[in-house]
A and B are shown apart, each in its own frame.
Chain A
Amino acid sequence: MESRFGKEQVTTFRNETRVVVPKADLLSTMRMLKEARSFDLLVEVTCVDYLNFRDATDRFGLVYVLANTITNERLIVRIMLNEPDLKVDSLCVLWNGANWLEREVYDMFGIEFVGHPDLRRILMPEEFTSFPLRKDYPMQGRGERHNFPVLTRNQA
């Protein structure tokens, strides 16, 4: 693993191996991991916003958790993203299960997955304009939760 990705890119924490991959190599790396190393299950796609995080150099860390269901190994692949270029290749071509996971990451963080068959919001209403899990989005929202008509006794 270290020989392939370079020593500084591979770290281990509590028996979990993590590797940081350049963004351009994502699809080829994942295809190699799936086909040659039989990491056949995509467990999770998620994202971390490193805004105001200590010692952080990149804004977003996109996290893929892979599992090898034969040997029970796990591998965490991470790619770093920075604004304004928040486009990544979609992994739907490799795992169909990536479809909704990537939609959720798009919904919450605004990462655009190129090649995704149906990249719409999955949790928030379609008209929602913000990406609520970004750290620069206020936790109480920007007034969306109060933006409804008020029904009184006389009206209904």
Chain B
Amino acid sequence: MALEQATRDLPENVVVTKLDELASWCRKNSLWPMPFATACCGIELMATGASKHDLARFGAEVFRFSPRQCDLMIVAGRVAMKMLPVLQRIWQQMHEPKWCISMGACASTGGVFDTYAVVQGIDRFIPVDMYIPGCPPRPEQLIQAIIDLQDKIQVEGTIGGAEFETAQRQERKRALQELPMYGHSHYFHPESAVAQRSSAIGSH
């Protein structure tokens, strides 16, 4: 009742909201995408950022090529086996809060490239918030995904960002997680422990 009273007495152009929602509102309307464009989806991604489709209408036009300046990774295109460690490292280098869009059939499932060299869906190895179907998707579809992601961001955040930055998480992030790099030879051997664990998870 007190809130209704207060709302009635407010002057025009003043809105009452919660601080949490305000924080989420700020976050969702200033997404900074990191274009991880490896194939033809990247062309559609560029078209989306260009003047005709104009991603600036949704506050997500500032593409930065450094992961440390971005909070939305758009994986556009197939990810080869040799590229995946790079993708994971870039994902780790991005600051919280961060989101990931898997754009197109190849990034989401491997698409038509069901071969030894192509990762069958990036969501096997990094978290993904939005999937876009299409080969390649139209810019409208990418914009729709960003709008949907904005809805998702609106309902999940708090002003302190505690859900993104728990103490435990900070501890883990102090050093980047130890990822196998080229030169550590157990990596590509099917009989290794990592491979057996992955094959238990994966369908192939």
Chain B residues with CB below 8 A from A127, complex form: 182-185, 187-189
Contact A132–B116 (Cβ < 8 Å): yes
User: How many angstroms from the CA of A146 to the CA of B179 in the assembled complex?
Assistant: 15
Given A125-B81, A147-B187, A151-B177, A139 contacting B91 (CB threshold 8 A): no
Q: State whether the Cβ of A4 lies closer than 8 Å to any Cβ in chain B.
A: no
Q: How large is the interface on B (under 10, 10 to 19, 20 to 34, 35 or more residues)?
A: 35 or more
Contact A154–B169 (Cβ < 8 Å): yes
Q: State whether the Cβ of B195 lies closer than 8 Å to any Cβ in chain A.
A: yes
Chain A residues with CB below 8 A from B201, complex form: 146, 150
Contact B194–A147 (Cβ < 8 Å): yes
User: How many angstroms from the CA of A40 to the CA of B189 in the assembled complex?
Assistant: 42
Contact A156–B177 (Cβ < 8 Å): yes
User: How many angstroms from the CA of A69 to the CA of B34 in the assembled complex?
Assistant: 47
Q: How large is the interface on A (under 10, 10 to 19, 20 to 34, 35 or more residues)?
A: 20 to 34
Chain A residues with CB below 8 A from B180, complex form: 148-149
Contact A152–B127 (Cβ < 8 Å): yes
Given A125-B188, A151-B177, A145 contacting B118 (CB threshold 8 A): yes
Given A125-B182, A132-B116, A139-B115, A147 contacting B169 (CB threshold 8 A): no
User: How many angstroms from the CA of A136 to the CA of B199 in the assembled complex?
Assistant: 21
Contact B173–A156 (Cβ < 8 Å): yes
**Which parts of B47-106 form the interface with A (CB within 8 Å)?**
81-82, 84-85, 88, 91-92
Chain A residues with CB below 8 A from B114, complex form: 139-140
Q: State whether the Cβ of A128 lies closer than 8 Å to any Cβ in chain B.
A: yes
User: How many angstroms from the CA of A143 to the CA of B186 in the assembled complex?
Assistant: 13
User: How many angstroms from the CA of A149 to the CA of B195 in the assembled complex?
Assistant: 9
Proximity bits, A34-49, B CB within 8 Å = 1, else 0: 0000000000000000
Residue positions of B touching A, CB distance < 8 A: 81-82, 84-85, 88, 91-92, 114-120, 124-127, 168-169, 172-173, 177, 179-180, 182-185, 187-190, 192, 194-195, 198-199, 201-202, 204
Could you jot down 30 A-B contacts, CB within 8 Å?
A: A126-B182, A127-B183, A127-B187, A128-B188, A129-B189, A139-B115, A143-B190, A143-B199, A145-B117, A145-B118, A145-B120, A146-B124, A146-B202, A147-B187, A147-B189, A148-B88, A148-B124, A148-B194, A148-B198, A149-B125, A149-B177, A149-B179, A149-B180, A149-B194, A150-B125, A151-B92, A153-B127, A154-B169, A156-B91, A156-B177
New A-B pairs, 14, CB < 8 Å, besides A145-B118, A151-B125: A125-B182, A125-B187, A138-B116, A141-B115, A143-B198, A145-B81, A145-B119, A146-B195, A147-B192, A148-B88, A149-B125, A151-B92, A151-B127, A152-B127
